[in-house]
């Protein structure tokens, strides 16, 4: 007997639903993993991030970056948190990460109510989400159930996405982690909050070509940045990655790319390469293109990223102290 059109759709949805759940929840992680073993985990992490944010708002972008850097090396296993002379956190791309004290604070509180239950990797994943919410971004459900890694080596951080990377290199690094071009543009959009030190982009302002600055930059913006980051000046001075809106999670970062005001070369290239420009335009609601809602897509891409190489079941451990392997 032939199925009606409606029944066919229902049948297809029934087949597809488990696939969607698997994609969202990943390899053994799930929303509400601690609902019985440590029901207050999300409220404890959230209140901890909030209290630190009140005294120092820069920890929000710091925690978001830290989660990203953790996931791209050895998977999302909290290995970025481990101390040691050759640990991940000592690698050049990680040396300016901040917010470790927030994770330690949350872990101490959780150990007092649920000893040996909540992983440091999960605390970091939750803290990254809470940081976005505190900067006016939308929330999303974070799957939990990650276990902590026991290996942390600075040499493993060499393949993190870099500020000079071409779009092809960026796409390759993301694809190697199971993330597509839309995920790339969406997650780089996390640069809507936070800052970069002059040393990471001042080369674009002086002698980039034989005629001067990087031609992909807005000339008036070049002059503005030259005043803030003079040649041979203080390379550690920090400048907002999202000009005019560095403390608010919004789409102005993409508008800045359109206007030639991207701070990092790797960011600006998302506008000059057609394969990524389309997604920037869709986030900006350009007429004639199917629009994308940044807040919604960011949560989806973060869930995908937060499931990279996770350790579950009996793999890894639950650290007692986030900076030390048990």
Q: Which residues of 200-237 are buried (b: 16+ CB within 10 A; e: fewer)?
A: bbbebbeebeeeebbeebbeebbeebeeebeeeeeeee
Residue 70 and residue 53 in contact, taking contact as beta carbons nearer than 8 Å = no
Known active-site residue 191: no
| Secondary structure of residue 319 in the 3-state scheme | coil
Angle between the 167-175 and 181-188 helix axes, to the nearest 10 degrees? 110
Contacts by 162-165, CB closer than 8 A, 24 or more apart: 162/93, 162/266, 163/196, 163/200, 163/201, 163/264, 163/265, 163/266, 164/265, 164/266, 165/266, 165/269
Closest CA to 98 of 120, 54, 67: 67
Residue 148 pairs in a beta bridge with 317
Angle at which helix 59-71 crosses helix 41-55, to 10 degrees, equals 130
Cβ 320 vs Cβ 326: under 8 Å:
yes
Residues 216 and 229: their CA atoms lie apart, in Å, by 18
| Phi, psi for residue 317 in degrees, rounded to 5 | -155, 175
Report the Cα–Cα distance between both ends of the chain, in Å, rounded.
Answer: 61
Neighbours of 309 (CB within 10 A): 16
Contact 53, 131 (CB under 8 A): yes
User: Active site residue: 52, 67, 69, 191, which one?
Assistant: 69
Structure tokens at 178: 């199971």
Active site residues: 69
């Amino acid at each position: 007997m032939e199925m009606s059109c409606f029944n066919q759709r229902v049948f297809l949805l029934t087949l597809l639903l488990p696939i969607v759940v698997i994609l969202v929840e990943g390899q053994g992680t799930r929303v509400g993993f601690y609902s019985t073993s440590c029901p207050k985990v999300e409220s404890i992490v959230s209140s901890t991030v909030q209290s630190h944010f009140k005294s120092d708002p820069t920890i929000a972008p710091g925690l978001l970056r830290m989660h990203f850097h953790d996931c791209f090396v050895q998977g999302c296993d909290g290995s970025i948190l481990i101390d040691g002379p050759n640990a991940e956190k000592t690698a050049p791309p990680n040396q300016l990460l901040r917010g470790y004290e927030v994770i330690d604070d949350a872990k101490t509180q959780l150990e007092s109510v649920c000893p040996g239950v909540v992983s440091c990797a999960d605390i970091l994943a939750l803290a990254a989400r809470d940081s976005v919410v505190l900067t006016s971004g939308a929330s999303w459900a974070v799957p939990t159930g990650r276990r902590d890694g026991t290996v942390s080596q600075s040499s493993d951080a060499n393949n993190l996405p870099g500020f000079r990377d071409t779009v092809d290199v960026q796409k390759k690094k993301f694809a190697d982690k199971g993330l597509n071009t839309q995920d790339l543009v969406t997650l780089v959009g996390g640069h809507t909050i936070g800052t970069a030190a002059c040393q990471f982009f001042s080369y674009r302002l002086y002698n980039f070509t034989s005629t001067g600055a990087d031609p992909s930059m807005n000339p008036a913006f070049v002059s503005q940045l030259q005043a803030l980051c003079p040649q041979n000046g203080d390379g550690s001075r920090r400048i907002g990655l999202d000009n005019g809106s560095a403390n608010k999670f919004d789409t102005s970062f993409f508008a800045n790319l359109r206007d030639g005001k991207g701070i990092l070369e790797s960011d600006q290239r998302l506008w000059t390469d057609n394969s990524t420009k389309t997604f920037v335009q869709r986030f900006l609601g350009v007429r004639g293109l199917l629009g994308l809602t940044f807040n919604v897509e960011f949560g989806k891409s973060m869930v995908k990223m937060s499931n990279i190489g996770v350790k579950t079941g009996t793999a890894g451990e639950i650290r007692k102290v986030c900076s030390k392997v048990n």
